[in-house]
Amino acid sequence: MSSSPSLLHTRRWWTLAVVSITQLMVALDATVINIALPRAQLDLHFSAGNRQWLITAYALAFGSLLLVGGRLSDLWGRRTALFIGLAGFAVASALGGAAHSFSTLVTARAFQGAFGAVLAPAALAALTTTFEHPKERAKAFAIYGAIGGSGAAIGLLLGGALTQWETWRWCLFINLFFAAVALVGVALFVASGRSARQARLDVLGTALGSGGLFFVVYGLGHAVTSSWSNEATWGSLVMGTVLLAFFVAWQRRSAHPLLPLRLLLNRTRGGSLVALFITSIGIFGVSLFLAYYLQNTLGYSPLRTGVAFLPLVGAIALSATLASARLLAMVGPRPLVPVGMILGMLGMILFTKLTVQPDYVGNVLPGLVVTGLGLGLILAPATASATAGIMRHDAGAASALVNTSQQIGGSVSTALLNTIAVTVTTRALHAHTTAVLPMKLWVAQSTLHGYAVAFWWAAGFFGVGSVVTFALLESGVPEFEGDLVPLL
């Protein structure tokens, strides 16, 4: 069924609602399973060492296939890609929720990641090609950015509630509800968006790009469970880097490139991708360490832990919808993103002051609010700017770039910051003497010291990001003219 341009224009806000639901499902699924893992482990009787694979399988499939998923969105059309991605994600979630063995659950998580790699770029591409007026585009991306940035925190809340009140399986079954609503919305409100050009999939580029991203994500994930000096860790990272170098070289020659390199030549797009990369480091760092702090140090239940993250969600939503939606269309991304980076840095510094005393209002809440305000200023302008100036037939590839930078940023965060925290904590524990403090208190303080050093590193990333984005982002607001924005 086809719709006239005027009818699609009047339904554009419904399109935003559909892609926002899709984005929420993909974003929260990266963390909703985390709180459910202990219960799933008891139910399916797998080891603590294998537990990591339930996260790694999703990340590997999602991260390595994003560029392919973005290009398939351009070739198939947004609606078809969304249909396939949503249906596949729902089936994989049902398979995982009904799993009675560890291997089935891991397989389901891998399929979730694969279909998510089709889904995420298609959703963002649909939004990119639907909203072209600067003011409306700013509002749309403010809402989209707030939902995406809050996804990790919402996942913790939802995972805690479902695990505590029902069963861990509902952390997967819940996706059937999201997918069903989104599928109806896609059928009613999303335009096809298929490229008019007769393009083909770059097979060699697909192999090189997906292989390179796979080894990079695997190497970073392996560093979490082993070390940076482990042969598998650095070997994977080296292999991934080499394959990505060949991928870039091939994209210069390919007649139908998987990733048109012209997309990377614009300063504002480059600065936006850097911003999204660094922001993912902050989001994953906060959700990872604070979840451990609240549950292991302060003794919070899974549900209470999720509720504790609500101020972060509220601050992101407030900053993105009120500040970014109003200011982006007037001043562009350059004043907003660097200020957001500085706020993110201040939030990370506040988290370095965490103590063993259960003072949520004094120790945790200020950092959540400041960080959330900063993330809201970054996510909406950076996402909008990263996809501005894109020809319609490249919207999927550009959207895949956005998702890839966020996925790699999350992988770097989990690997690097977790390694730093564990290393510092281990050194502090070795310095313990019974004459100073009881062992239990010393362990808690050593752990917090490890978190603090990791948060200082995250603060440093945000600080560098404020300088880099101020240098790269251009002043002014891009104006949309038909199929192509003058940013190119």
* Distance between CA atoms of residues 158 and 166, nearest Å: 11
Residue recorded with tokens 């294998």: 50
Amino acid at 60: L
Is the pLDDT score of 10 beyond 80? no
CB 56 within 8 A of CB 113: no
pLDDT at 461: 92
Residue pLDDT, tens place only, 167-208: 888 889 999 999 999 999 998 888 776 655 556 778 898 899
Indicate if the pLDDT at residue 45 is higher than 60. yes
pLDDT above 90 covers what percent of the chain?
Answer: 24
Residue 326 — left, alpha, or beta (φ > 0 → left; ψ -120 to 50 → alpha)? alpha
- Position 27 scores a pLDDT of 79
Q: From CA 369, how far away is CA 319, in angstroms rounded?
A: 10
What single string gives the DSSP state of each residue in 422-434? Answer: HHHHHHHHHT--T
pLDDT at 260: 81
CA separation for the pair 261, 269 (Å, rounded): 12
Helix (H), strand (E), coil (C) string for 95-125? HHHCCCCHHHHHHHHHHHHHHHHHHHHHHHH
Q: How confident is the model at residue 2 (pLDDT cuts 50, 70, 90)?
A: very low
Instruction: For 240-255, write each residue's pLDDT tens digit.
Output: 999 999 999 998 888 7
Would the pLDDT of 28 be above 60? yes
* DSSP per residue, 369-388: HHHHHHHHHHHHHHHHHHTT
At residue 439's C-alpha, the angle toward residues 433 and 441, to 5°, is: 115
pLDDT on residue 208 = 92
> pLDDT at position 352, please?
92
Cα–Cα dist 201/64, whole Å: 16
| 188 token code pair | 């009613």
pLDDT at 467 over 80: yes
Lowest mean pLDDT among 56-60, 89-93, 180-184, 451-455: 56-60
Least confident of 159-173, 292-306, 373-387, 421-435: 421-435
Phi, psi of 484, rounded to the nearest 5 degrees = -135, 130
Mean pLDDT of 82-98: 94
Share of the chain above pLDDT 70, in %: 90
Radius of gyration of the chain (CA): 22
pLDDT at 314: 87
376, 343 Cβ separation under 8 angstroms: no
- In this structure, of 4-8, 331-335, 378-382, 390-394, the range with the lowest mean pLDDT score is 4-8
**DSSP three-state, residue 168:** coil
Whether residue 435 is predicted with pLDDT greater than 60 in this model: the reply is: no
Q: What is the pLDDT of residue 433?
A: 59
CA pair distance 43, 98, nearest whole angstrom: 12
φ/ψ bin of 474: left (φ > 0), alpha (ψ from -120 to 50), beta (otherwise): beta
Structure tokens at 281: 């480091």
Any idea which residue has 């009904």 for tokens? 98
Answer for the pair 268, 333: CB distance below 8 angstroms, yes or no. Answer: yes
**Is the predicted pLDDT of residue 479 greater than 60, yes or no?**
no
Q: How far apart are CA 350 and CA 456, in angstroms?
A: 10
- Give the list of residues 6+ apart from residue 413 with CB closer than 8 angstroms, or none: 280, 281, 282, 283, 284, 285, 288, 458
Q: Which of 182-186, 441-445, 480-484 has the lowest mean pLDDT?
A: 480-484
